[in-house]
Structure 1
Amino acid sequence: MDVQAVGLSLLLLHFTSALQTQPWTAQNNTQLPVVIWHGMGDSCCNPLSMGFIKKLVEEKVPGTYVLSLEIGNGITEDVENSFFMNVNDQVELVCNILSKDKMLQNGYNAMGFSQGGQFLRAVAQRCPSPAMKNLISFGGQHQGVYGLPRCPGESSHICNWIRKMLNWGAYSSPIQEHLVQAEYWHDPLNEELYRSKSVFLADINQEKGINGSYKENLMKLNKFVMVKFLKDSMVVPVDSEWFGFYNAGQAKVTYTLQESDLYLEDRLGLKVMDNAKKLEFLTVDGDHLQFSEEWFITNIIPYLK
């Protein structure tokens, strides 16, 4: 018998066996995929924002599959939904997208920009499969906001209209159901109203009741990285980017994550994660989402490798 033919047969048999025992995907022996969720007024593929980040990750971590989430059918709808699509519906949509993406089934890292930070945290808490490994939140408002000093296109009609609606009645049912920014509006002057009427933030922060799976799922993260922008002119208070917020009954003095009831009662497992060195607190000496390419490469890329 031809020795060469025998060797080739054995090689083919080994290869066939490997295919049968291990799913053959582009993710075998490559980096974990990265999922990106953009912020208010942005889109999945803006070449100056998420498009740039996507290319940068692909360049600096070769072999990485990067999914920049598009909420809706096309760029225009994606931008509109960042203002007007119920956040719970957005999170459910994203969970379905991730569960059906074959490239993500072995796990993925996630990066959320501005409101995308708390939205991806909701994904981690509500949808543990596929598994999120590291979550990086850039200026995410994890304790909400109490003020909207500016938003993309400050002089535009849409931003002015949002401010009027929030001032008129952020917790009215129609606004809670259809205005994204109202769903993480946190009024420290009326905490009881916030807890009872908030349809999104109060839920994921375990302020309406305790869902044990939220805590269990979040604690599965290897790292939860929170980036605070020290000169942020959009997020009020900026402490929210590290889970801090205003003390109840006023809107001047703030508390830290470690001083919060959320941490002290450990409703999300953040205290355990902090003690286990799973929480990372980074700062940028700039305005909202303003960081250099060099800073990103030095401080963020290591979490993606």
Structure 2
Amino acid sequence: MRPIALLALATTALSAVLPWQSTADIDETQLPLVIWHGLGDDFEREGLKEVASLAESVNPGTYVHLIRLADDSSGDRSATFIGNVTEQISLVCDQLAADPILRTAPAINALGFSQGGQFLRGYIERCNSPPVHNLVTFGSQHNGISEFESCASTDWVCRGAEALLRSGRWTSFAQSRVVPAQYFRDPTELDLYLEKSNFLADINNERAVKNETYKKNLASLNRFVMYMFEDDTVAVPKESAFFSEVDPTTGEVTPLHERPIYKEDWLGLKQLGEKGKLEFITIPGQHMQISAKILQEAFTKYFGPLEESALSLQGLVVQRGL
């Protein structure tokens, strides 16, 4: 949820090579990469630019798109605290569909940092055009948060959102304007959550009427990889990164595979799991403290070039140009 802190990243210029033009083999394709940052961050942050550069360095020819919710960094950062998440995802659906490279690619890869992870999942469930091949999330709150992080005394945007969340998280105003409130989920307040939640209860398909499109779209992923920070005290509970349920009184953790959301396959997660397409990875450190080594490994394993045959199996047409 805090701005990304990256260690020892190499900075290189982004390549102008089209993403599906492989530099290694004519029978391979390099998919574009879409990145959605977390709370308190913005698309012009140096750390985020370094991530984009690292992605291109590890997999030459990668076209990287940094999601933005405003034309300037200040507006983009404010939108991580204040805004309607449903409207923001709709904006991103239009943004990605309008990009001339993304919309003509056979598919895209997606990387979500903190809240950007569950928002990218919302994109997949609600529109998924262009379709996502692999989704990787770091410290994302897939099962929501039960606490809100404390803000710096001088961060007035954050403090304003924090005050609204603490005082009236289930009000229509908070659920339509305060971003973290829209993925707040306290197991002791499930009735209010199911009734009032603007975002998370919907994309987690927790209400009585299930959205089959959400399930179909998420189940279409080639790989869904979730990273959890071992020492995370910012995103509470940290196990939300794995879709786990945590009892706020006892601290007992119920893993995804033992929950109805998986057993009854509300989201297609069981389909992915039975095919070996779900991965749960615990890494050391505090929230969003990611080493270059871990990122390099993720980029190599999950965002590398693919054989055309692998895409063809998904019914996607590999394109070599605009």
TM-score, with structure 2 as normaliser? 0.83
- CA drift at 1:251: 6.4
Give, as a single letter, the amino acid of the residue that structure 2 aligns with 1:146. Answer: S
Aligned to 2:145: 145
Give, as a single letter, the amino acid of the residue that structure 1 aligns with 2:88. Answer: Q
Aligned equivalents of 2:226 and 2:190: distance in 1?
Answer: 24
Aligned equivalents of 1:148 and 1:245: distance in 2?
Answer: 17
Aligned to 2:119: 119
Aligned equivalents of 1:270 and 1:64: distance in 2?
Answer: 28
Give, as a single letter, the amino acid of the residue that structure 2 aligns with 1:66. Answer: V
Q: Larger C-alpha radius of gyration, 1 or 2?
A: 1
- CA drift at 1:127: 1.0
Please state if 1:51 is matched with 2:49.
yes
- CA drift at 1:233: 1.5
SS at match of 1:189: helix
Please state if 1:186 is matched with 2:185.
yes
Give, as a single letter, the amino acid of the residue that structure 2 aligns with 1:121. Answer: R
SS at match of 1:83: coil
Give, as a single letter, the amino acid of the residue that structure 2 aligns with 1:225. Answer: V
Aligned equivalents of 2:202 and 2:61: distance in 1?
Answer: 37
SS at match of 2:187: coil
SS at match of 1:103: coil
Q: How many residues in Structure 1 have an aligned counterpart in Structure 2?
A: 278
Contact 1:35 1:109 in 2 (8 A): yes
**Gaps in structure 1 of 5+ consecutive residues:** 1-24
Contact 2:20 2:31 in 1 (8 A): no
1:58-115: CA deviations, max 9, x gaps? 1111111000111112111100111111111110000001111121232100000000
Please state if 1:225 is matched with 2:217.
no
Aligned to 1:29: 21
* Pairing partner for 1:83 from 81, 84, 94: 81
* Pairing partner for 1:99 from 68, 77, 97: 97
1:100-155: CA deviations, max 9, x gaps? 1121232100000000000000011111221100000111100000002335x466
1:141-172: CA deviations, max 9, x gaps? 00000002335x46633333333222211010
Aligned to 1:6: none
SS at match of 1:29: coil
Give, as a single letter, the amino acid of the residue that structure 2 aligns with 1:207. Answer: E
User: Structure 1 pair 141/176, CA: closer, same or farther in 2 (3 Å)?
Assistant: same
Identity of matched residues, %:
39
| Higher-helix-fraction structure | 1
TM-score, with structure 1 as normaliser? 0.87
Aligned to 1:157: 156
* Pairing partner for 2:63 from 59, 65, 86: 65
Please state if 1:279 is matched with 2:271.
no
User: Structure 1 pair 154/232, CA: closer, same or farther in 2 (3 Å)?
Assistant: farther
1:215-263: CA deviations, max 9, x gaps? 000011000010000101211101100001224x846322111111111
Contact 1:189 1:251 in 2 (8 A): no
1:25-84: CA deviations, max 9, x gaps? 93443310000000001011211x211100111111111100011111211110011111
**Gaps in structure 2 of 5+ consecutive residues:** 1-16, 23-29, 305-322
Contact 1:273 1:279 in 2 (8 A): yes
User: Structure 1 pair 253/155, CA: closer, same or farther in 2 (3 Å)?
Assistant: farther
Contact 1:188 1:250 in 2 (8 A): no
Aligned equivalents of 2:211 and 2:222: distance in 1?
Answer: 21
User: Structure 1 pair 188/117, CA: closer, same or farther in 2 (3 Å)?
Assistant: same
Aligned to 1:213: 213
- Residues 195-214 of structure 1 mapped to structure 2, 5 A cutoff: 195-208=194-207, 209-214=209-214
Aligned equivalents of 2:229 and 2:301: distance in 1?
Answer: 20
